[in-house]
C-alpha cells in the first residue's frame, strides 16, 4: 500500500530522513513493489554514504547490484568516490524552456518581467534561446534593442542570471544523448535509477532544473504508454516511484500548480507514477499537494507549523502533536495514512550489516560491492518490518 499513493518522509535536519528513506527504498526494491527514480541530491542513495557514526554505509547499488543503475551528472565526483556508474547524464540547452525558469523563480531570484523576456527570446531565437542568450555578444544585444517587444533591462538581468548555468558541466549546447530516454529504458527493464548530482547537489537551481526537466519528459512518455495500453495492464509501464529531496522547493504554493511534481501528486496513480518526497520543512509544501501524500513517515519535528502540516487531514491527529514533538532525535518515527490502519510509532531499524544481510538472497543478488555477503534467505520478520 505504501507505493499506491505518494509518500512523504519528514523530520528536522539530522533525524535520519535519508537513512530511513534508504531503508524504505530497499524494501520497495526487494519486494519489487515499484521501480524507483531517485534524484539524489547529496549522493545519499547510490553508492557508499557518509555516516556520522564513522564507517560508511552501503548505497542501493551495493545492496542490489544490477537491479539498480547509477546515473551521474558529475562523472568526476562519481569516479572519485569509486561509484560504479552506468551512464553520464548531459542536458542540452535546447531542452530548457521558459517554464523551467518559472520553477526557479525564487531560487534564482527571477522577476516576472525576466520570465516574460525569456518567452520573448524563445519566440525570436527558437529552441536555442538560452544558449544564444548566454553567449550573446554586445552586437547581438545591440541588435535586440531594436526590437520593440523586448524589455532590455530585463533581458540583461536574465542574461546575468542564466550565465550561472555555465558552471554546470552537464549542460551543453547539445546533449550527448537523450538521458530521459535512457532512464526510461532502465525503468522498463525494472531497474531502479539513482541520479547522482555529485558536486552540483550544492546548487539548488541545478537540482530543480534537472529534476523538472527529466521528470517532465519521463512523465510524458509514461502518459503516452499508459494511454496506448488502453487499460491492458500487461502493456503498461511498471509502477514508478520518484524520490525528490527538498520537496518544498518544488512544491511551494507559488509553483505547485505549474510543476510536473504538483501534477503527479494530484493525478494520483492514474499514470502509474507516484512521488516519495523527503523534506525537513513540510509547512512549505502546497496544502493541496500535501493532502495527496497518502502515507507520511515523520521523524522528530519541532516547528509548530511543520507539525500542523504533516498532521493535516489525518483523523484523530490531536493527540499526535505531542508524540511527534517528543520523538527521539534519531531512529524514531510515526507512520500514518494510507499504508497503515492507524498511526503508529516505530523505531527505525538500524542500517547496518545485519540489515544488509537480511536483504541478501534477493533475486538479482548484489554484485556491486567488494564485501562478500552471507547468502541467507530473507528473514520474514525483517521484511514485514520494512513494509
Ligand atoms: N536507521 C539508522 N541506522 C543507523 N544510523 C542511523 C539511522 N538513522 C539515522 N542514523 C544516523 O543519523 C545520522 C543522520 O541521519 P541522516 O543523514 O539520514 O539524517 P537526515 O535527516 O537526512 O539529515 P539532513 O536533513 O541533514 O539530510 C546518520 O549519519 C547516521 O549516523
Ligand atoms: Mg538527508
What angle (nearest 5°) sits at the alpha carbon of residue 35, between those of residues 34 and 38?
Answer: 120
The shares of helix, strand and coil residues in the chain, as percent rounded to the nearest 5, are 45, 15, 40
Residue 10, strand partner residues: 279, 298
DSSP state of 286: -
* pLDDT recorded at residue 55: 79
C-alpha dist (Å) from residue 380 to 171, 347, 377: 46, 18, 9
- pLDDT, tens digit, 9 for 90 and up, residues 162-179: 999 999 999 998 899 999
* pLDDT recorded at residue 370: 39
User: In testing the pocket of ligand 1, which one of 14, 25, 44, 352 has its CB within 8 Å of the most ligand atoms?
Assistant: 14
Q: Which three cell numbers stand for residue 377?
A: 534467505
User: In testing the pocket of ligand 1, which one of 16, 24, 49, 302 has its CB within 8 Å of the most ligand atoms?
Assistant: 16
Give me the CATH code for the 2-90+179-386 domain, please: 3.40.50.300
Q: Residue 50 CA: which ligand 1 atom is closest?
A: 29
- CA-nearest residue, atom 2 of ligand 1: 350
- CA-nearest residue, atom 23 of ligand 1: 14
User: Domain limits of the chain?
Assistant: 2-90+179-386, 95-171
| Strands in the chain per DSSP E | 6-10, 35-40, 68-72, 87-88, 91-92, 171-172, 192-196, 240-245, 273-279, 293-298, 332-337, 344-347
* pLDDT recorded at residue 384: 34
- CA-nearest residue, atom 25 of ligand 1: 13
* pLDDT recorded at residue 54: 76
CA of 357 to the centre of ligand 2 (A): 23
* pLDDT recorded at residue 49: 84
* pLDDT recorded at residue 81: 87
Q: Residue 331 CA: which ligand 1 atom is closest?
A: 8
Task: Please give the Cα distance from 132 to 198 (Å, whole number).
Answer: 27
Task: Please give the Cα distance from 265 to 290 (Å, whole number).
Answer: 8
Question: CB under 6 Å to ligand 1: residues?
Answer: 11, 13-19, 51-53, 280, 330-331, 348, 350-351
Residue 57, strand partner residues: 49
* pLDDT recorded at residue 350: 92
Regions of the chain short of the pLDDT cut 70 = 268, 361-387
Amino acid at each position: 500500500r505504501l507505493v499506491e499513493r505518494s509518500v512523504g518522509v519528514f523530520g528536522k535536519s539530522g533525524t535520519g530522513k535519508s537513512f530511513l528513506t534508504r531503508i524504505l527504498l530497499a524494501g520497495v526494491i526487494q519486494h519489487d513493489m515499484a521501480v524507483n527514480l531517485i534524484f539524489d541530491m547529496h549522493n545519499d542513495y547510490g553508492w557508499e554514504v557518509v555516516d556520522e557514526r564513522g564507517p560508511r554505509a552501503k548505497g542501493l547499488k551495493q545492496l542490489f547490484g544490477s537491479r539498480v543503475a547509477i546515473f551521474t551528472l558529475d562523472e568526476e565526483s562519481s569516479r572519485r568516490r569509486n561509484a560504479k556508474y552506468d551512464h553520464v547524464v548531459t542536458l542540452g540547452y535546447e531542452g530548457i524552456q521558459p517554464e523551467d525558469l518559472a520553477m526557479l523563480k525564487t531560487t534564482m531570484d527571477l522577476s516576472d518581467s525576466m520570465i516574460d523576456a525569456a518567452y520573448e527570446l524563445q519566440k525570436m531565437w527558437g529552441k536555442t534561446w538560452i544558449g544564444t542568450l548566454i553567449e550573446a555578444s554586445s552586437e547581438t544585444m545591440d541588435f535586440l534593442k531594436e526590437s520593440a517587444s523586448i524589455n532590455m533591462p530585463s533581458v540583461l538581468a536574465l542574461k546575468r542570471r542564466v550565465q550561472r548555468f555555465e558552471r554546470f558541466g552537464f549542460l551543453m549546447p547539445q546533449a550527448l544523448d537523450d538521458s530521459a530516454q535512457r532512464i526510461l529504458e532502465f525503468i522498463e527493464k525494472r531497474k531502479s535509477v539513482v541520479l547522482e548530482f555529485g558536486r552540483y547537489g550544492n546548487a539548488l537551481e541545478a537540482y530543480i532544473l534537472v529534476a523538472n526537466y527529466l521528470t517532465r519528459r519521463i512523465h510524458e512518455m509514461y502518459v503516452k504508454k499508459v494511454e496506448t495500453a488502453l487499460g491492458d495492464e500487461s502493456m503498461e509501464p511498471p509502477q514508478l516511484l520518484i524520490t525528490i529531496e527538498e520537496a518544498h522547493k518544488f512544491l511551494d504554493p507559488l509553483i505547485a500548480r505549474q510543476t510536473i511534481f504538483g501534477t503527479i501528486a494530484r493525478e494520483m496513480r492514474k499514470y502509474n507514477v507516484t512521488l516519495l518526497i523527503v523534506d525537513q520543512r513540510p509547512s512549505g509544501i502546497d496544502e493541496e499537494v500535501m493532502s495527496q501524500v497518502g502515507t507520511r513517515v515523520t521523524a522528530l519535528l519541532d516547528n509548530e507549523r511543520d507539525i500542523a502540516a504533516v498532521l493535516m487531514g489525518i483523523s484523530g491527529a490531536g493527540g499526535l502533536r505531542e508524540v511527534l514533538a517528543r520523538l527521539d532525535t534519531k531512529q524514531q518515527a510515526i507512520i500514518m495514512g494510507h499504508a497503515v490502519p492507524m498511526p503508529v510509532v516505530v523505531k527505525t531499524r538500524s542500517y547496518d550489516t545485519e540489515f544488509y544481510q537480511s536483504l541478501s538472497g534477493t533475486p538479482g543478488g548484489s554484485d556491486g560491492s567488494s564485501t562478500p555477503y552471507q547468502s541467507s534467505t530473507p528473514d520474514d520478520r525483517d521484511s514485514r518490518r520494512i513494509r
